[in-house]
Amino acid sequence: MSLRTGRPGTSAGPVTGPAPAAPRRRRVDWPAWRAFILLTAPLVVGLVVFKYVAMGWGLLLSFSNARGTIALGDWAGLANYRALLDDPRFRTSLSMIVVFTLVIVPLTFAIALGLAVLVNRLRRGRALFRTTFFLPAAVSYVVASLIWKMSLFSGVPSSAANSLAALFGQEPTAWIATVDPPLYWVVLITVRLWLQIGLYMILFLAGMQEIPGELYEAARVDGAAGEWRLFRHITFPLLRNTSVAVTLLLVIASFQAFDEFYNLLSTGLAGAPGPDGRPPLVYLYDVSLVQQDYGVGSAGAFVVTLLIVVVTLVQGRLVGLGRKDGE
Amino acid sequence: MTERPSRRGRRFPVGSYLAAVVFAVPFLLPFYLLLRNSLMTQAELGALEWHWWPEKISFTGFTDAFDNSTVPLGRALLNSALVAVISAPVSTLLASMTGYAVARIRVAAARPVFVLVVATMMVPGAATFVPTFVVVGSMGGVNTLWGLIVPGLFNALAVLLFRGFYLRFPQEIEDAGRIDGLGHLGVYLRLALPNSAGLLAALGVLSFIEHWNSFLWPLVIGQDPAFWTVQVAMSTNLTSQAINLPALFASAVISVIPLALVFLAAQRYIVRGIMATGIKG
């Protein structure tokens, strides 16, 4: 029992005997502190300024009248939040993004998982196909919007979509310019699918590498052959952690959609897309950068942030995140 | 047991290859259109008939792209290059430094600092562009290079990943370094940092792509054409009234090529980085 050496700070020390007044007792390790501060200060200062101060200032601004100014002091109580929630354009943007999320998340999930299974079955040329499905991840939303708006789904008869439709005897369609029928949804959904599927396919592929091959062999010996049954009883259940992560990432990304909506549906830098196709971030851009109402803009930032945090937490709770910690 | 099935014994999955080829078409079609359109003329792009390839390859799109005086493409490309080339290594290194310190230096502040950093991950980045704009604007960062770059240098998720990596860094190596007279900084710079080259490369390449392609923040902070990135420049053309389509597609080709090359060359690191970030994210 090394009571004395092991616990130099206990009150038992002085009583039990003439212990040498522990010289290392709570000595501040200055070299360690110096190294710690040198290593962490740049990032910590940056986060404090650009996250904590920004959020604090934004919170105060959201309770201020701040049209054309970012100065505090002209308090407005909850007026900005009330104005925001009373604005039908903001409410439309919220319901719009919920619908968008409900469509894009399952679609991306299913196609990414399907492609991962497919690529995993290939023996030769696996890398080639993986790269093919993954390559769009190198393209920006702006460039993809350009291709979608001006070539794939442009209104001219020679666009890819209209040329394809012509093969089936269809007349050329204005894909983006019409609200009725809302064909712009096809454009919005496909462009995001193209850009993000590859990334989530990689995540699923990574998850599949963790599944021991013996499980499949054992199942085959037991006569549980059939690719679908193997997928349903082995692959999919064992991808649970990956599936949870993918769903969370997809939802967070969807709620923050901005780039493709702005570039596909707006008609000018200051112009904003119509109310039907405007997600919250485009609305906030319009309010704060175009109309320069930083009070309402900040209030909107907090409403959207709160929404994302709540959805993430609820979703995490629903799927039992943390019940089985991976690491 | 003479008929032990060899590993290649199962049938060649013809159906899977067929499906993979069919799926590959829509993934490659946009790349093909991008290239084709950049080599066409405005008249050909507005034609009634679909053309698989321009009748006569035209490079006027590429010259026109740089001749546009209202949208300075050369300057925009330079800005994008500066942003990505500075942001990728700096943000990755900052995260590595902090990750090492909170993982391996035992001071009372380690835990609080780690919590302070990780707590910021709760707040989604893009959704809070208004508060960030307010702070950067108050510091005079609108229409400056630092306003474009600095707010994007602090990556809490990367700190989390580096901390996980350095926690597993062998104590014996650190002890050996200590015996050789290295301090905390020495152990980090001479031993831990070189040993994390793989993770540095993975997160660095991801960060490069992210910064080159980012759009919302550059749009918000670079209001003067001199501070547009290539994404903002292309978006300006795309959302304007009169569009020179071949020039726009040509500038898109120019903006995609460097990234596609980085992507193909560093795919191994990209995959590793995504696996690291995605699974924990």
Between the ranges A130-144, A168-182, B1-15, B121-135, where is the mean pLDDT highest? Answer: A130-144
Give the residue-averaged pLDDT of B180-202. 94
Q: Angle formed by the axes of helices A240-255 and A184-209, to 10°?
A: 150
Check pLDDT > 50 for residue A8: no
3-state secondary structure of A75: strand
CB of A93 within 8 Å of a chain B CB? The answer is no
Helix runs in B68-124, H state only = 73-104, 110-119
pLDDT category at B43 given cuts 50, 70, 90 is confident
Q: How far is A20 from chain B (nearest CA, A)?
A: 25
Residues sharing a CB contact under 8 Å with residue A42, sequence separation 6 or more, in sequence order: B94, B97
pLDDT category at A320 given cuts 50, 70, 90 is low
pLDDT at residue A147, rounded to an integer: 96
Give the residue-averaged pLDDT of A235-264. 92
Chain B contacts of A122, Cβ < 8 Å? 13, 16-17, 20
Q: Do A150 and B124 touch (CB under 8 A)?
A: no
3-state secondary structure of A64: strand
pLDDT at residue A11, rounded to an integer: 42
pLDDT at residue B268, rounded to an integer: 85
User: Which two three-digit tokens encode residue B94?
Assistant: 């900052």
pLDDT in tens, A119-156: 998 988 899 999 999 999 999 999 999 999 999 998 88
Q: How far apart are CA A306 and CA A288, in angstroms?
A: 19
3-state secondary structure of A67: strand
- Nearest CA to A129 among A137, A138, A118, A140? A118
pLDDT category at B234 given cuts 50, 70, 90 is very high
3-state secondary structure of A71: coil
Residues sharing a CB contact under 8 Å with residue A123, sequence separation 6 or more, in sequence order: B8, B12, B13
Chain A contacts of B129, Cβ < 8 Å? 281, 284-285, 301
Q: Do B130 and A132 touch (CB under 8 A)?
A: no
Burial of B258 (0-12, 13-18, 19+ CB in 10 A): middle
Check pLDDT > 90 for residue A71: no
Give the residue-averaged pLDDT of A173-198. 88
pLDDT at residue B279, rounded to an integer: 57
Q: How far is A18 from chain B (nearest CA, A)?
A: 30
Q: Do A58 and B216 touch (CB under 8 A)?
A: no
pLDDT at residue B281, rounded to an integer: 38
- Which amino acid is residue B117, in one-letter code? V
Q: How far apart are CA A292 and CA A284, in angstroms?
A: 10
pLDDT in tens, A36-56: 999 999 999 999 999 999 999
Q: Do B137 and A252 touch (CB under 8 A)?
A: no
Task: State the pTM of this model.
Answer: 0.88
CB of A327 within 8 Å of a chain B CB? The answer is yes
Residue in B20, B127, B183 nearest the CB of A281: B127
Q: How far apart are CA B88 and CA B200, in angstroms?
A: 10
3-state secondary structure of A159: coil
| Helices and strands of chain A, counted as H and E runs | 17, 0
Percent of all residues in chain B with a pLDDT value above 90, rounded to a whole number:
73
pLDDT in tens, B113-146: 999 999 999 888 888 899 999 999 999 999 999 9
Between CA A35 and CA A42, with CA A36 as vertex, the angle to 5 degrees is 100
pLDDT category at A274 given cuts 50, 70, 90 is low
Higher pLDDT, B242 or A234: A234
Q: How far is A27 from chain B (nearest CA, A)?
A: 11
CB of A227 within 8 Å of a chain B CB? The answer is no
User: Which two three-digit tokens encode residue A89?
Assistant: 């354009």
Q: Do B243 and A150 touch (CB under 8 A)?
A: yes
CB of A204 within 8 Å of a chain B CB? The answer is no
pLDDT in tens, B208-227: 999 999 999 999 999 999 99
Q: Do B263 and A284 touch (CB under 8 A)?
A: no
Burial B22-48 (b: 16+ CB within 10 A, else e): ebeeebeebbebbebbbbbbeebbeee
pLDDT category at A28 given cuts 50, 70, 90 is confident
Residue in A137, A152, A301 nearest the CB of B127: A301
Contact pairs from chain A to chain B, CB under 8 Å: 304
Q: Which of A225-229, A296-300, B68-72 has the least mean pLDDT?
A: A225-229
Q: How far apart are CA B269 and CA B208, in angstroms?
A: 12
Check pLDDT > 60 for residue A272: no
Residue in B122, B184, B249 nearest the CB of A31: B184
pLDDT at residue A219, rounded to an integer: 84
- Which amino acid is residue A321, in one-letter code? L
Which letter does DSSP use for residue B219 in this model? Answer: H
Q: Do B97 and A43 touch (CB under 8 A)?
A: yes
Locus of tokens 């690291």: B276
Mean pLDDT, chain B, as a whole number? Answer: 90
Chain A contacts of B16, Cβ < 8 Å? 118, 121-122
Check pLDDT > 50 for residue A269: no
Burial of B17 (0-12, 13-18, 19+ CB in 10 A): middle
Check pLDDT > 80 for residue B42: yes
Q: ipTM value of the model?
A: 0.92
Check pLDDT > 80 for residue A257: yes
Chain B contacts of A256, Cβ < 8 Å? 124-127
pLDDT at residue B280, rounded to an integer: 45
